[in-house]
Amino acid sequence: MGKMSVDLCGITLDNPVIPASGTFGYGYEFAELYDINILGTFSFKGTTKDPRFGNPTPRIAECTAGMINAVGLQNPGVEKVISEELPKMRKVFRKKVMANVSGFSIEDYAYTCEKLDKCEEVGWLEVNVSCPNVHGGGMSFGTSPEAAAEVTKAVKKVTTKPVIIKLSPNVTDIVSIAKACEEAGADGISLINTLLGMRIDLKTKKPVIANKMGGFSGSAIFPVAVRMVYQVANAVNIPVVGMGGVSKAEDVIELMLAGATAVEIGAQNLIDPFCARDIINDLPMVMEKYGINSLSDIIGGAK
């Protein structure tokens, strides 16, 4: 294992850097810019059982040090993802990829995961029980330990691949939900998804986003991510993938010290398309600066 490599649920990553779902498409827009095989892996666009157009526009609003999105899980549906997107992705990315899955019922989750389980290029299933954008959707699963556990159990039944449950920060007790997922058989936890937010346009005096509310992300939310990763990593015995406002190599190390085995990068990809590459390039220098010999040694190092 190299100095930057980590083990995520039995699969070795060359480095812990993972572009987050919804900010990296299926990789090929970024593959035009640099060889994306330098990434640890990436989590592709959230996939649902049926095709979805998502929410009306505007779907995007700016905030101080961040943004709100209410895309609403636009995707072509799992059948087309497998038949059209994954073959295209395969041409530009040779490593195991993380498949991100959303659903509106237990059956939806199981259906989509069972299909993706058959895909050789998929290494992990990242099950989003937390997307705050869809009315009556993912939110309800991620806000209750029982519902999150039920999704976990249903998904575990249909796949042999590692299942990582992606949690919402919009809850009162993140630890109880993470623990419930672990007890239900989850192989890992990823967090944090976006924080529910809203902006109002002073000129029109109406919400900026057509859906009114959306998910707040970007560097402003980083301290919330550090806190929640720390709380969860200290409560469970399965790997935690940390994310939320990561924009530089130092942030990756900070989240790993908080307990993350690997780190996802979200909104920063949208404003700086080279950031994942630059973070990977910067990591050795930053490790040396802080006297870190191996990244896998520092996981959960902050007590």
Partner 1 sequence: MKQSLFTIKENRPLTKDVYLMRLEGDTSDITAPGQFVNIKLDGLFLRRPISVNDVEGNVLTIIYKVVGTGTEQMKEMKSGTLDILTGLGNGYDTSLSGENVLLVGGGVGVPPLYMLAKKLIKEGKKVGVILGFNTESEVFFEEEFKALGCDVTVTTVDGSRGVKGFVTNALESFPDAAYFYTCGPEPMLKALYNATSIEGQFSFEERMGCGFGACMGCSCKTLYGNKRICKDGPVLKKEEIIWEK
List residues binding partner 1 (CB under 8 A).
22-25, 29-30, 32-33, 45, 53-54, 56-67, 69, 71, 74, 208, 218-219, 267, 269-274
Whichever of 85 and 187 has its CB closer to partner 1, that residue is 85
- In the chain, the amino acid numbered 137 is G
| Cis geometry, peptide bond prior to residue 207 (ω within 30 degrees of 0) | no
Pairing of strands 6-8, 163-166: unpaired
- In the chain, the amino acid numbered 14 is D
In whole angstroms, the minimum distance from the beta carbon of 184 to partner 1 comes to: 31
Whichever of 58 and 185 has its CB closer to partner 1, that residue is 58
Note if 131 is an active site residue. yes
Kindly state the DSSP code that residue 56 receives in the 8-state scheme: P
In whole angstroms, the minimum distance from the beta carbon of 75 to partner 1 comes to: 8
In whole angstroms, the minimum distance from the beta carbon of 264 to partner 1 comes to: 14
The Cα 112–Cα 90 span in angstroms is 20
In whole angstroms, the minimum distance from the beta carbon of 239 to partner 1 comes to: 26
Cα separation of the two ends of the chain: 25
Pairing of strands 213-217, 66-69: antiparallel
User: Which among 105, 47, 118 has a CA at the least distance from the CA of 78?
Assistant: 47
Whichever of 98 and 110 has its CB closer to partner 1, that residue is 98
Whichever of 66 and 188 has its CB closer to partner 1, that residue is 66
| The pair of three-digit structure tokens given for residue 130, joined into one six-digit string | 């937390």
Whichever of 80 and 289 has its CB closer to partner 1, that residue is 80
| The pair of three-digit structure tokens given for residue 168, joined into one six-digit string | 């919402």
Q: 138: which residues sit within 8 A by CB, 6+ positions away?
A: 102, 103, 104, 128, 129, 130, 131, 132, 168
Whichever of 20 and 233 has its CB closer to partner 1, that residue is 20
Among candidate residues 9, 131, 181, 275, the one labeled active-site is: 131
Kindly state the DSSP code that residue 75 receives in the 8-state scheme: B
In whole angstroms, the minimum distance from the beta carbon of 181 to partner 1 comes to: 27
Query: Nearest 10 degrees: CA dihedral of 225, 227, 230, 232?
Result: -80
Q: 197: which residues sit within 8 A by CB, 6+ positions away?
A: 63, 68, 213, 214, 215, 216
In whole angstroms, the minimum distance from the beta carbon of 125 to partner 1 comes to: 21
13: how many CB neighbours lie within 10 A of its CB? 23
Give the residue numbers annotated as catalytic, written as ranges.
Answer: 131
